Amino acid sequence: MPHDLPKAYDPTAIEDHWANYWVQENLFAVPTPTSSTPPVQNQGRDGQSPDAKSAFTILLPPPNVTGRLHMGHMLNQTEMDILTRWRRMSGRLALWVPGTDHAGIATQMMVERQLAEEGTSRQKLGREVFIERVWAWKRHYGGAILEQMKRLGVSVDWSREYFTMDERLSVAVREAFVRLYHQGLIYRGAYIVNWCPRCQTAISDLEVVHQEQKGHLWEIRYPVLGDGGKPTGEFVTVATTRPETMLGDTAVAIHPEDERYLHLHGKKLLLPLMNREIPIVVDPWVSREFGTGAVKVTPAHDPNDFAIGERHHLPSINIMDDQARINENGGPYAGLDRYVARKRIVADLEAQGLLAAVKDYTNNIGHCDRCKTVVEPRLSTQWFIAVNKEPNGGGDSMAEKARAAVRPDANGNKAIKFTPENYEKIYLNWMEDIHDWCISRQLWWGHRIPAWHCADCHKITVPQPGAKDDPKTCAHCGSNQITQETDVLDTWFSSGLLPVSVFGWPNFTSKTPGAPGLAHLETGEGIRESNNLGAPGPSHSGTGEGSKDRADAALSRPDFDAFYPTSLLVTGFDILFFWVARMIMMGCWFSKDIPMPDGSVRKLENSVPFKEVYIHALVLDANREKMSKVKGNVIDPIQVVKQYGTDATRFTLASMAAPGTNIAFNVARTEGYRAFANKIWNAARFIFMNIDRAAEAGIKVDPAVLGQMPTVSADAPLEARWIVAELHATAAKVNESLNNYRFDEAASTIYQFFWGSFCDWYLEIVKLRLDFEGKQVVNGTKVEILRDLEGTRAALVTLVSVFEAALRLLSPFMPFITEELWNAIYDSNPPASSIALTKFPQADTSCIDTESLIDMGFLQNLITAIRANRKDLNVEEKAIVDAEINALGGFRKVIDKNLAIIQRLARVNSVRHVDRFSDGLLKYSNPNFDVAVVYEKTIDISAERERLTKDIAKYEKGLASAERQLSNESFLQKAPPQVVEGLKKQEAETRLLLEKARAALNALPRE
C-alpha cells in the first residue's frame, strides 16, 4: 500500500493538477433537472442523493469581462466557495453559477484605446464594425478573470457560464424592457444627468466620485435694466464656481423675502457677454444667507437650477457639446473647451469691470469613476424607469415591492435576510428615497434599447411582450420610416435581471415536444396581446386566471423551478445599491407572475431573487489602509498564491473573515498558514508510513471504516476516546460557525484541532500504540516477544479515520491539499471522484465523551507543567527524571492509568504520589495538582522568588477583574448563564492558585 507523497509540500504542483482535474471532470456541474430525474451531483459511497428541493443556489457577482482578480474578488470567492463546498458536502444540491458582465463603459473604453493607438476611432469605424471589434476583443482578451478563478479551484458549474451579452440573456433584457414599457413604467424625459465628456455618456450618481478640490468662487455683476431696457447703473452680484455656465443663464433667482432685493421684483437683468435679457425670479429655495443671496439660474447645467427652471417655466439653454466644448449657443465662445472658455470669460468680465471678486473656495467636485474626468451636469434626453409609479392596471410600484421584500411582515418574517443585519436599514433607507432610475447610456457596446422612433409622427414604437421580431412600421401612423434608438441600456439593467434570466426566464419551453416556444404566455397576459401585435397595449399587468392555467400547462421551466429563488448572495457593500437593490426590484417584479412548480401562486417570499444576502467587508493592507494604486500598497492575490499557495491564501482570508469586520491582509499570516499546510502534510507522511509498516505486520485498515464520523469503544485508550470526542466537538462548532458566517471562528477551530489536538498531542501519544515490533520479555529462561496487534490495529483505525474526517472538515477551506491527501489515503482508488463530493463531518453529541475531555485536559496541564518545570531547572532535553505529584483524588487514577503517556511526553520515569513534597523541590501548581520534578540542582532562590512574585501579581489581577465582573449587576443579568458559571469557576481556581503561590513564597528559605 504505497502512499507516495513527495517529502516536501509544494502547493504549486498539487494545485495546478487538481484545478485542472475539477474543471475537466466537470465536477461541480448540476445539469438541468428533468421531471423524472431530480438532478444529482457525484455522490459519496453512501449513495444518498441530495434532492432538488434542497438546492443551495448562489450566483457569482459577475466580474467585468475586462477585469483582473483582486483581493476583493479573492475574499468574495473564498467565502462563496467555502459556503458552497460546505453546503454541497452537507447534502444540499449545490449550484454556483459563474459568468461575466459585458461592462459597457469599461469595455468600450478598452477597445477605444486600442483604436486610438491604431490611429482610428469608433466614429470612423461606425457602429456595426465597432461592435464587431469589441466582440473580437472579448473573444481574445475577455474573461481572463474566469481563467484565474479556474486556477483558484472555485467549485462553480462551468457548464452554466454566461456572458451578459449572450443571446439568451439579451432576450431577457429586451423582454424586461418591453414589459416595463407597456406597463407604463418606462418613459423618456429631459433630465440633468452626470455627463462624462471623456466617456461621452450619462453616468449614474453612483458612478460619480466626489473629491474636494481647491478652486475659486467668482463673483460676477449683472447690470439691472430699467424701463426701456436701459441699464440703471445698479448691479446684482452672483457667485459661481463654474463661470462658463453663465452663457446658459436664463434667470437670476432671489428669495421672496430678501429685503435687499425687494425693489427688484419683476425687473430684468442684462446677461453680460451674451447681452441677453434675463428675468429676476423669486423662489423660496434660494438661501438668503449664502453669498449675496442672488443665484444665477442655468437650468441646462445644474440639477437645482433645472428644478427652478421647471417651477418658473424658464427656457433651458444647453451650451456644451458631448465633449464639454462650448457649442453654438455660447456665442463668441463656441468651439472652446470648457476650461479654456472659463479663462476667456473671466478675463473678458474683468476687462468690462463686471468681475466683483475672486475668492478661494474648496469645492466638492464629481469625477467619473471610470476615467476620473470631471463630470458635467448637463441636460439631456434619457430613458427612465419610474420605480415609484403604480403600473398600468394598478398594484404596488417596483420600489414598494423591493421594500416589502426586506421589511419584516406582520409576523416579523423577512423574505430577504441581510447579514450583517444593519444593511437592512441602509437598504431600506435608500429604497425609501429612491429616484427614477436612468437606464440609458450613450454607448455603442451594450443592449441597444428596443424602441423605434418614427420620422413622420415622432412617436415611439416598442414591440409587444413576447414579440420576437423588430417592428417594421410605426405602431401609431404605420409609417415605415422608423429607426431604432441609438442608446444602450445601463449595464446594471442586465445584471439586475440575472437571477431570473440565468434560469431561463423568459425563454421557458413548451412541455409538448415539437410545439413552438410559448414564452410570452407565461405571465398569462400574452395571449390577449398576441392577437393585437403592433398596437400600443394600455395595460399589461392584469392576470387572467384562465390564461394563467393554460400558460401553466404549456410551459416547462425546470431550472427556474429548481433553482429560483437562489439561496444566498455574497457581495461587497460597494454594489449594494448598484446591483443588490436592482436585482431585488427586477427579481420580485418579473418572477411574481410565474407560478410555483406545484402550480400555486408565487408569494413574495418566493419571488425574491435570493433569500439571504451576506455583505462582506473590505480587504485592507497590513497597516489597515485601503489598498490603492496611487499609494502603491495593492496586494495582488495571484502573487500571494504563487508564493504561498492558494490554500494558505484562502485560509488567511477565512481566518479573518467575520461579518462587518475589515480584513488587514498580512502575508506573514499566509506564511503561517503555509506552515500549517506543511504540518498536515507531514502528519500524512507519518500516518502513511505507519499504514505501510502495519501492512508488513499483517494489519490492514479496511477503507470501509473511513468516510464517516469515527466512533470509539468505551474501553479504548484515553487518547482515542479524547481525539474522537474532540473531532465531534470541532465539527459541531465549525458547522455552527459557518451557519453564522463566522468564517474566522470556523477556521480557527479547525486550526486548533489539527495543529494543537491532532498533531501536537494525539500523534505524539499514538506512537505509543503503534508497536509493530513488540517487546522482548524474559520469562524465566525464555525470551518472548509480546505484541498487542489488536491494540495496534484499533489505534491505527482511529488514527486514520480521524485524519480522514479532519481532512473533510478542512476541505472547504483548503480544497487542494485535502484533495491530494484524501486521494493518497485511498491510494488513488477513492470512493468518490473528489473529497468535495463526500460528506461534511456532522457531530454526534453522544460521541462527545466529556470524561475523556476532562481527563485529557488534566494530563495536558500536567505534562505542560512538568515541561515548564524541567525548563526552569535547566534539565537536559534528553534526561529522564522522576516527579512527585499531589493531585486531587480522582485524578490520581488518571495518572496511574496513563502513566506511559506522561512518561513519554514529559520524559519522566516514576511519578510518585505524595502528600508532602521532598525538601528543596520546585513546585508547580494547578487547581487540580501540584507537581515537582526531582532533580539534583540547587534552586536559585531569588529567581524562584521573582517567579512566584510575578505569578502572585498575575493572579491578583485576574482575581480582581473576575470579582469586578461578578459584582456587576447588569453584567450578571445580561451574560449567558454558562459565561457566569465559567467566570465563577475561574475565580475559584485563581483564588486557589494565589493561595498556593503565597504559601510557596513564604516557604522559600531566606537568602
Interacting residue ranges for Zn ion, rule: CB under 5 A: 196, 198-199, 368, 370-371, 373, 454, 456-457, 474, 476-477, 479
Rounded to whole angstroms, what are the CA distances from 629 to 45, 254, 636, 743, 838?
50, 46, 11, 29, 42
Q: Whole-number minimum distance, CB 199 to Zn ion, in Å? A: 3
Contact 687, 821 (CB under 8 A): no
Cβ proximity to Zn ion: between 195 and 665 the closer is 195
Cβ proximity to Zn ion: between 369 and 944 the closer is 369
Cβ proximity to Zn ion: between 109 and 385 the closer is 109
Q: Whole-number minimum distance, CB 478 to Zn ion, in Å? A: 7
Distance CA 395, CA 183 (A): 11
Cβ proximity to Zn ion: between 537 and 659 the closer is 537
- Residue ranges of E strands in 797-864: none
Contact 280, 267 (CB under 8 A): yes
Cβ proximity to Zn ion: between 373 and 986 the closer is 373
The C-alpha cell of 391 is what?
403600473
Cβ proximity to Zn ion: between 392 and 479 the closer is 479
Q: Whole-number minimum distance, CB 441 to Zn ion, in Å? A: 11
Q: Whole-number minimum distance, CB 334 to Zn ion, in Å? A: 24
- Report DSSP state, residue 761: I
Contact 928, 891 (CB under 8 A): yes
Cβ proximity to Zn ion: between 457 and 992 the closer is 457
The C-alpha cell of 924 is what?
508547580
Cβ proximity to Zn ion: between 474 and 766 the closer is 474
User: Phi first, then psi: what are they for 897, rounded to 5°?
Assistant: -70, -30
Cβ proximity to Zn ion: between 285 and 339 the closer is 339
Q: Whole-number minimum distance, CB 218 to Zn ion, in Å? A: 26
Contact 323, 200 (CB under 8 A): yes
Cβ proximity to Zn ion: between 368 and 406 the closer is 368
Cβ proximity to Zn ion: between 373 and 547 the closer is 373
Cβ proximity to Zn ion: between 291 and 536 the closer is 536
Centre a 10 Å sphere on the Cβ of residue 629 and count the other Cβ atoms it contains.
7
Q: Whole-number minimum distance, CB 323 to Zn ion, in Å? A: 11
Distance CA 976, CA 993 (A): 26
The C-alpha cell of 986 is what?
475561574
Cβ proximity to Zn ion: between 476 and 947 the closer is 476
Cβ proximity to Zn ion: between 370 and 808 the closer is 370
Q: Whole-number minimum distance, CB 455 to Zn ion, in Å? A: 8
Q: Whole-number minimum distance, CB 430 to Zn ion, in Å? A: 24
Distance CA 5, CA 681 (A): 9
Q: Whole-number minimum distance, CB 507 to Zn ion, in Å? A: 31
The C-alpha cell of 740 is what?
453564522
Distance CA 151, CA 904 (A): 45
Q: Compute the half-sphere exposure of residue 215: CA atoms within 13 Å on the CB side of its CA.
A: 16
Distance CA 580, CA 677 (A): 36
Number of alpha helices (DSSP H) and beta strands (DSSP E) in the chain:
32, 33
Q: Whole-number minimum distance, CB 203 to Zn ion, in Å? A: 7
Q: Whole-number minimum distance, CB 116 to Zn ion, in Å? A: 15
Phi-psi region for residue 637, left (φ > 0), alpha (ψ -120 to 50) or beta? Answer: alpha
Cβ proximity to Zn ion: between 102 and 403 the closer is 102
Strands 208-225 and 231-240: antiparallel
**Residue written as grid cell 446658459:** 248
Contact 370, 194 (CB under 8 A): no
Q: Whole-number minimum distance, CB 173 to Zn ion, in Å? A: 23
Phi-psi region for residue 320, left (φ > 0), alpha (ψ -120 to 50) or beta? Answer: beta
Q: Degrees (nearest 5) of the Cα angle 235, 239, 244?
A: 100
Cβ proximity to Zn ion: between 144 and 457 the closer is 457
Distance CA 971, CA 978 (A): 13
891 contact partners, CB below 8 Å, separation of at least 6:
855, 858, 928, 929
Cβ proximity to Zn ion: between 200 and 925 the closer is 200
Contact 613, 571 (CB under 8 A): yes
Distance CA 223, CA 268 (A): 9
Q: Whole-number minimum distance, CB 121 to Zn ion, in Å? A: 16
Report residue 698 CA to chain centroid gap.
Answer: 51
Cβ proximity to Zn ion: between 517 and 534 the closer is 534
- Report DSSP state, residue 449: -
Q: Whole-number minimum distance, CB 248 to Zn ion, in Å? A: 22
- Element containing residue 972 per DSSP (H, E): helix 969-974
The C-alpha cell of 530 is what?
398576441
636 contact partners, CB below 8 Å, separation of at least 6:
70
Distance CA 652, CA 185 (A): 47
User: Does a cis peptide bond (omega within 30 degrees of 0) precede residue 565?
Assistant: yes
Burial (CB count <10 Å: 0-12, 13-18, 19+), residue 1005: exposed
Q: Whole-number minimum distance, CB 632 to Zn ion, in Å? A: 24
Q: Whole-number minimum distance, CB 491 to Zn ion, in Å? A: 14
Q: Compute the half-sphere exposure of residue 195: CA atoms within 13 Å on the CB side of its CA.
A: 24
- Element containing residue 235 per DSSP (H, E): strand 231-240
Q: CA end-to-end span of the chain, whole Å? A: 65
Rounded to whole angstroms, what are the CA distances from 395 to 398, 399, 499, 679, 728?
9, 12, 23, 62, 53
Q: Whole-number minimum distance, CB 109 to Zn ion, in Å? A: 8
Q: Whole-number minimum distance, CB 752 to Zn ion, in Å? A: 50
